[in-house]
Amino acid sequence: MIEKVLTWLGRGEVWVVGAGIATFLVLTWVLRGAVPGKSVEGESGGDSPRGVHPDRIVIGVAFGLILILAGAAVAIGRGIPWSLPIFAAGFGLVLFLIRVNRRHRHTSPTVRRAIDVSASFLDLALLAGILVVVNVLVFRYGGRPFDMTSEGAYSLLKLSVDQVNALDRPLTFTQIGGRGPLAETFRPRVRQLLDAYHALRPDMIRIKELNPYEEVDETGEMMKRVPEIRLLTGTAGGVVIEYGEGATPIVVRNQDLFDLPNYGEADRIEPFDRSFRGEDAITSALLRLREGKTVKIAFTVGHGEPKLDDTGATGLADWRARLVRVGYKPVELHLIENEIAEDVALLVVVGPVDPFKPAEVQRIRAYADRGGPILLLLSNERPSGLEEFLRSNNLELGKGRILDPRANINSWEVVVAASRSAVDHPISAAMASDRSVVLPYAGPIHILGMSAQAGGKASDPVDRNLVPSPILQTGRTSWVESDLKNPRPTLDRSTDDEPGPVTVGVAVSRRKESSPSPARSGPGAGATAREDQPRLVLFSCPGMAENMSRISPANLDLLMNAAGWLRGSPRDTLGISPHTHTALTLVVDPVLRQRLIVVPSFTAVLSIIAMGIIVYVARRE
């Protein structure tokens, strides 16, 4: 018996009917001025309306008001067309009773109270309806919302706007939901970004939401078309981007849209909004989809280099995913077995442990001589076999390790450098001025032909047609420590220690002979001129490309800019910096969150009732 009662009480319609009856009784009480069944003071006099029963008017008005409230509930739950008949019945009944019985409002307190309360209710309902209609019109036809943040955190940059305006096929964003608190933190911010794209071209862009844990059939159908969607069914979710028919969709994980300072702690939510990289990821994907082609990038292997598919701290999986997202195709290249193919647009060498053999170096040199760009990330801790090749490009890796007692992370050897610390080169100019690059165990780079006062060793350039330009330097408090066994290292100018700033990144261009510039006087001058052809970029810190660089996403941004510059693609160089708008976020358990909502609401209702009672008592007195 008890189970049947509990089951019956658990039905939603029972509670709806109960709420309706309770609301009807409360309205009747308020309109009569007394509990139903009890006589109302002032209604027994001779001036009461003849042939008109005040209680019938009250019941009719209360029923009409309940119909209006029911119409609002139906409009929210079922839709506006379903609510129109209910609204018409409720408003019509109340307006009819007000109009017919208005002449009795001065002779009957009950009629007067019913007319005044119902008229006020209709005025509020009319005002609420106007506000709702205005909001709907503004959101649907009002264009893009205003971004009031000083950082422009919710606005799209010109690069994104240009890509959206150039769409010639339908574009679909499918937001995939994930599990856990991190997914709930990401979801509204990602949807806000997608809405910004949709606002630019609502005729071409469509947004869908898919919950893989509830919409199983729809998820299975999408997996047949986009197998990579399995990557999004974890804790955080992501976005699937489809451009027209036939094009390969691109999958972007939510982890790739946010800078996570504590990587690996996926379920931990910090009490602030992290830097948001969504625009960079989405716009890069649009670039790739619109072009419809990939660019091959070859990474050398066979010398102990980090692996492209390694997701550990020393792997290159993060960089590889970033390259794939913008249309690159990273491939492995065994130089001892294969020549560098003609379709290789960029050659990358990252942290070789074993030196390159002379035959391999010869293939690298031949690739560079025919105009192939090269990106090198080399350490000075061991020979790379590329020392003579670097000298032919007016570069040399110095000895020692860079230390910095002020700008570091947990160790003087893990140095932090400003991303725009050197000359105004296109690679570093695309970076935000307040971003930093983390350089673990970096060494100095010497530019042959640059004076010692400029931070290098005095020497003559090997090839004056090659123009090296520093693109990354450490701070003034850093230096190159020559004695690595010293337990208490300090800058000793009497030894081979080099004071900061120290060059750790260099871009080399080849000066075209067809358009010489007489204004140039040295190998470091005019490296960013238009007639110079990108040839080589060298960083003296292989660790800046590894997955451990997740603590500083600016590392990959700088490498992506370097790859874009080497390919002669300014579009790729002009990267989009993450939005760094920080807003406090309330992170509480569900019980406390419910209390924080219920208690103020209940207090506000009690305050309104108390003020009404005070006014009522004061008027009666």
- List, for residues 221-245, the tens digit of each pLDDT value: 888 888 777 766 555 688 989 998 8
Q: What is the pLDDT of residue 573?
A: 42
Strand order in the sheet with 466-473: 328-333, 295-300, 344-350, 374-377, 532-539, 503-511, 466-473
| Sequence-distant (≥ 6) Cβ neighbours of residue 90 within 8 angstroms | 64, 65, 66, 67, 68, 70, 71
- Higher-scoring residue by pLDDT: 77, 500: 500
So where are the chain's domains? 2-142, 344-514+522-567, 588-621
Q: What is the mean pLDDT of residues 144-164?
A: 71
Q: Which helix (H) or strand (E) holds 346?
A: strand 344-350
By C-alpha distance, which of 251, 208, 207 is closest to 231?
A: 251
Pairwise pLDDT comparison (238 vs 20), residue with the higher score: 238
- At residue 339, the 3 state secondary structure works out as coil
In this predicted structure, what is the pLDDT of residue 148?
Answer: 62
What pLDDT sits at residue 449?
80
Report which listed range, 250-254, 341-345, 486-490, is most confident: 341-345
pLDDT at 453: 42
For residues 319-326, average pLDDT? 80
C-alpha angle 249-252-257 in degrees, rounded to nearest 5? 155
pLDDT band at 135 (very low <50, low <70, confident <90, very high): confident
For residue 519, pLDDT beyond 60: no
pTM of the model as a whole? 0.58
Average pLDDT over residues 28-48: 65
Q: Which of 308-317, 471-480, 529-538, 609-618 has the highest mean pLDDT?
A: 471-480
Answer whether residue 591 shows pLDDT above 80: no
* Least confident residue range of 152-161, 282-291, 363-372, 469-478: 152-161
* Separation CA 151–CA 155 (nearest Å): 9
Q: Do the beta carbons of residue 328 and residue 563 sit within 8 Å?
A: yes
Confidence (pLDDT) at 298? 96
Q: Looking up tokens 């309770």, which residue turns up? A: 22
Determine the topology of domain 344-514+522-567 in CATH.
Answer: Rossmann fold (3.40.50)
- Min mean pLDDT across 194-203, 253-262, 394-403, 532-541 is at 253-262
| C-alpha–C-alpha distance, residues 338 and 69, integer Å | 77
Residue closest to 237 by CA, chosen among 170, 285, 191, 269? 191
More confident position, 32 or 442: 442
Q: CA–CA separation, 339 vs 359, rounded Å? A: 10
Mean pLDDT computed over every residue of the chain: 79
| pLDDT surpasses 90 at 95 | no
Residues 248 and 264: their CA atoms lie apart, in Å, by: 30
Confidence (pLDDT) at 364: 96
Query: Among 219, 229, 226, 232, which Cα is nearest to 249's?
Result: 226
- For residues 198 and 293, the model is more confident at 198
Neighbours of 470 (CB within 10 A): 25
Per-residue model confidence (pLDDT) at position 36: 65
